[in-house]
Amino acid sequence: MTDSHAPRSNLRHRSAQTSAPPPTGQEADAAIDLGVLGQSAGFLLKRAQMAVFADFIATFATADIRPAQFSVLVIVGRNPGMKQSQVSAALSIKRTNFVPLLDSLEDRGLVKRKMAAADRRSHALHLTAKGTALLTELTVLWTQHERRIQDKLGHDGWTQLLRLLNGLENFGGATGLDEADVADLPPAKPKTRTRRVAKPADAG
Amino acid sequence: MTDSHAPRSNLRHRSAQTSAPPPTGQEADAAIDLGVLGQSAGFLLKRAQMAVFADFIATFATADIRPAQFSVLVIVGRNPGMKQSQVSAALSIKRTNFVPLLDSLEDRGLVKRKMAAADRRSHALHLTAKGTALLTELTVLWTQHERRIQDKLGHDGWTQLLRLLNGLENFGGATGLDEADVADLPPAKPKTRTRRVAKPADAG
DNA sequence: TATTGTTATACTCTATAACTATA
DNA sequence: TATAGTTATAGAGTATAACAATA
């Protein structure tokens, strides 16, 4: 079914082949062998995301704007009048968690909830004049931030990265959407709790 | 200094050029314009990471192993005898958060803290026989998981992605390392608190 | 009955300060 | 004085359940 595009041969880089651990743990102090983590998209995605977000947060610190807040401002700015549930779904944020996030922006006078005439349950979202002005400034910061990534990867690498990341959209099905509140489901697993109780690490 | 590799020309894809928002927010229900987020490495990295982790968690659910736990097992398995601080640094996990993570594995008999003879402050980490056996099984699951990503991106795309992600290692400086406890620093910012107080969204 | 926004709540992940025992 | 591990705690981010208003 899925064997059309890739040779899918080498998923056996390190661990499966060389199952014997090389360093004995004495003078191997500088470099740690990441094993399969070095070929693990999840691990590398997480690490890269943390690094990029760190630069983002530092860049936007003067404006006191977090990544999620910036995302909302961008979406609302380019899609005025959308409902909360539409914006939150576009950002894979559950509508229940979207409420305080929107609050933080509305309290600062950047975004406005307006009553939707057609459906009085929903709120149409718009940027305020202040929000629009701030977004213009934030876009400058964002350009500087993104340019640093381009400088790190090269422009072609940066373009490739964006294309590949877009290819992983809705891969695992972790959307943050609500799926009609789900409701009737078994309570899953009993959970493995772990409380620490004084453990002096006996000798080996 | 950094103008050697990329033309760095087009960071002006959407927002800077077309500053007027296209949809009026009425029949634009299906597709939302992501604006600059579509060219934002941070946003796309986060989204891809969430999707990949969702598949990872579903794949490893039968073994009740989380991504961070798997990472520790892999690192300890390939680097036996390393200190906690070394392993946690390799995974960009603060040593203070690494303690309960290790506890969860030691309580299940997968990892053992052994007293290091040379430095009695540190703990040398080793897999138990049970931990080694489990890691072998987990590696099979991991291969299935990673292969699904390969199927999604194509083998070449997958290889490119790993290479590009490695290029973003220690980009922003968000390592999760400890930097000698830092200690003397000003308390940063006053924080923008947000408590909600009944807001019925007046009409516009 | 279903949807929209909301509240309350809990769990995970991450971050900081301070302690202990060793060095 | 500095380091390794630990504890406690606080803060984000994310998850589910339940409710009122509206459809």
- Sequential DSSP letters for B54-105: HHHHHHHGGGT--HHHHHHHHHHHHSTT-BHHHHHHHTT--HHHHHHHHHHH
Using CA atoms, how far apart are residues A57 and A61, in angstroms rounded to an integer? Answer: 6
Residue B55 sits at the chain A interface (C-beta within 8 Å): yes
* CB within 8 Å: B64 and A192: yes
- Average of per-residue pLDDT across A140-144: 98
pLDDT of the residue at B174: 59
Question: Which phi and psi (to 5°) does residue A181 adopt?
Answer: 65, 0
Q: Does B109 contact A at CB distance below 8 Å?
A: no
Q: CA at B122, C1' at D6: how many angstroms apart? A: 12
**B96 in contact with A at a CB cutoff of 8 Å?**
no
B122 at interface of A, judged by CB pairs closer than 8 A: no
HEC string for B22-56: CCCCCCCCCCCCCHHHHHCHHHHHHHHHHHHHHHH
* pLDDT value, residue B100: 98
Q: How confident is the model at residue B170 (pLDDT cuts 50, 70, 90)?
A: confident
- Nearest Cβ partner for A204 among B22, B79, B114: B114
Report helix, strand or coil for B169.
Answer: coil
Tell me the per-residue pLDDT of A157-182, one tens digit each, with 9 for 90 and over: 999 999 999 999 878 775 666 655 43
Question: What distance in Å separates residue A119's CA from the closest CA in chain B?
Answer: 12
The answer to whether the CB of A110 falls within 8 A of the CB of A130 is yes
Selection from A174, A183, A166, A184 nearest residue A93 by Cα: A174
The alpha carbon of residue A22 is apart from the nearest alpha carbon of chain B, in Å, by 7
Q: pLDDT-derived band of residue A184, with 50, 70 and 90 as boundaries? A: very low
CA torsion angle for A178, A183, A189, A190 (degrees, to 10)? Answer: 120
Note the pLDDT of residue B3. 35
Contacts of B17 in chain A (CB under 8 A): none
Percent of all residues in chain A with a pLDDT value above 90, rounded to a whole number? 65
B151 contacts chain A (CB < 8 A): yes
Contact B76, B109 (CB under 8 A): no
Contacts of B37 (CB under 8 A, 6+ apart): A71, A74, A75, B43, B44
> Which chain B residues touch A196 with a CB distance below 8 Å?
99-100, 103
Q: Would the CB atoms of B124 and A204 count as touching at under 8 Å?
A: yes
Report, in angstroms and rounded to the nearest whole number, the Rg of chain A calculated over CA atoms: 23
Residues B200 and B204: their CA atoms lie apart, in Å, by 12
Structure tokens at B190: 């006053």
* Res A176: pLDDT: 64
pLDDT one-digit tens code per residue, B5-53 = 333 333 433 333 333 344 333 333 458 999 999 999 999 999 999 999 9
Nearest CA distance, B178 vs chain A (angstrom):
15
B23 within 8 A of A75, measured Cβ to Cβ: no
Q: How far is the CA of A188 from the C1' of C11 (A)?
A: 14
In the predicted model, what is the mean pLDDT of residues A110-120?
A: 93
The percent of residues in chain B predicted with pLDDT above 90, rounded, is: 65
**A15 or A164: whose pLDDT is higher?**
A164
- Within 8 A of B142 by CB-CB distance, chain A residues are 36, 40
The DSSP letter of residue B170 is T
pLDDT tens-digit profile of A77-100?
Answer: 999 999 999 999 999 999 999 999
Q: Report CA torsion sign: B177, B181, B186, B192.
A: positive
pLDDT in tens, B102-136: 999 999 999 999 988 889 999 999 999 999 999 99
